[in-house]
Amino acid sequence: MHWKLTLTYDGTPFNGWQIQPNLPTVQGTLANAIHHITGESVLPQGSGRTDAGVHALAQVATFSITVSIPAPNLHRALNRALPTSIRVLSVEAVPEDFHARHSAQRKTYEYRILPGDRICSPMLAPYVWPCRFSLDLKVLQQAATHVLGTHDFSSFAANDPDQAARNASEPTDLPIDNVRTIYHSAWHEQQDLLIYRVTGSGFLHHMVRNLVGTFVEAASNRISPDEIPTILAAHNRSAAGPTAPASGLFLVEVEY
C-alpha cells in the first residue's frame, strides 16, 4: 500500500523535518512510529524539509508498506504512537506514482510577527517573532507586492553549502536553479499579530524568512519598500535583509 499522510506539528522540539543522526526530527519520529506499528523500516518522504523550529499546519508525507491495514486503523495507531507534538490529520491510500515532494504544485506558508514593545506570552513565544520594532502594515504590504510573479530569488536564498540539497526538496518539474513563481504575497493584521501569507511554486532554503526579514527592514524605515526589485535583480544574498527567526514560520498548505 502507498499512503499519503497530512500532518500538523509543533517544530519547537525538533531539529527540522529531515532525519539526522542522534537528533530528534519529524521524519525520524514518524519513521519510528511506522516501524512500531508495522515492523517495517521506511523513510517517509515529505513535501519539503522544514527547518529546526519551523511548524506545519498541513505537511504532506508519503510512504509504502507491505502490511495490509485499513486507513482508519493506521490513522489511529499513528496518533497513538506519535508524541503529542505531531498529529496525523488524515491518512489516504494513493497511487504508487504519487509523491509528496515531486507531485506538489504549490505551497503556502505563513509568517507571524508580534510587533512593538508588547509583552510576548511564553505560550505564544515559540510561534511568533516578537519583533521589537513598530512596523507599518502599509509598507509591509507595499514591499510584499514586489515579489509577485516569476523571479530569480537568489538574493533571498540561504547562502550556504546545503542550498543545493535544500533545492532538491522542491518539485522536480522546476529547474534546479533559484527561479520561482509567487502567486500570492500579502500581509494582514489579526488581533495583535502581523501575518504574512505567501503561495508559490516552491521555495528556496530560508526564502520566506529572508523575505520577511527584508520586508521588516522596509517597515521599520531602514530601506525603502521600492528597493525590493533592485534587491531581486542583484542575485546576491548580501543585498537583502536578515533572516527572520524560525519560530514564526508555518507550512500551511501543499497543493497537488
Q: Are 17 and 142 members of one domain?
A: no
Q: Are 88 and 168 members of one domain?
A: no
Cβ distance 91 to 77 under 8 Å?
Answer: no
Successive 10-residue mean pLDDT values, the chain, 256 residues: 98 97 97 98 96 97 96 98 98 97 97 95 97 96 98 90 44 65 98 97 97 97 97 97 98 98
Determine, yes or no, domain membership for 66: yes
Strands 2-9, 149-152: pairing is unpaired
Q: Are 78 and 110 members of one domain?
A: no
Q: Are 89 and 119 members of one domain?
A: no
Taking the model in full, what pTM does it have? 0.91
Determine, yes or no, domain membership for 209: yes
Q: Are 113 and 229 members of one domain?
A: yes
Q: Are 47 and 165 members of one domain?
A: no
Q: Are 17 and 119 members of one domain?
A: no
Determine, yes or no, domain membership for 174: yes
Q: Are 84 and 118 members of one domain?
A: no
Active-site hit among 10, 51, 162, 226 = 51
pLDDT at residue number 176:
56
Q: What is the 3-state secondary structure (H, E, C) of the chain?
A: CEEEEEEEECCCCCCCCCCECCECCHHHHHHHHHHHHHCCCCCCEECCCCCCCCEEEEEEEEEECCCCCCHHHHHHHHHHHCCCCEEEEEEEECCCCCCCCCCCCEEEEEEEEEECCCCCCCCCHHHCEEECCCCCHHHHHHHHHCCCEEEECHHHCCCCCCHHHHHCCCCCCCCCCCEEEEEEEEEEEECCEEEEEEEECCCCCCHHHHHHHHHHHHHCCCCCHHHHHHHHHHCCHHHCCCCCCHHHEEEEEEEC
Q: Are 159 and 230 members of one domain?
A: yes
Determine, yes or no, domain membership for 101: no
Q: Are 114 and 70 members of one domain?
A: no
Determine, yes or no, domain membership for 99: no
pLDDT at residue number 117:
87
Determine, yes or no, domain membership for 203: yes
Q: Is 97 a catalytic residue?
A: no
Q: How many domains does the chain have?
A: 2
Which three three-digit cell numbers place residue 228? 525590493
Q: Among candidates 245, 220, 218, which has minimal Cα distance to 130? A: 245
Q: Are 219 and 146 members of one domain?
A: yes
Q: Are 110 and 85 members of one domain?
A: no
Domain that includes residue 250, residue range: 106-255
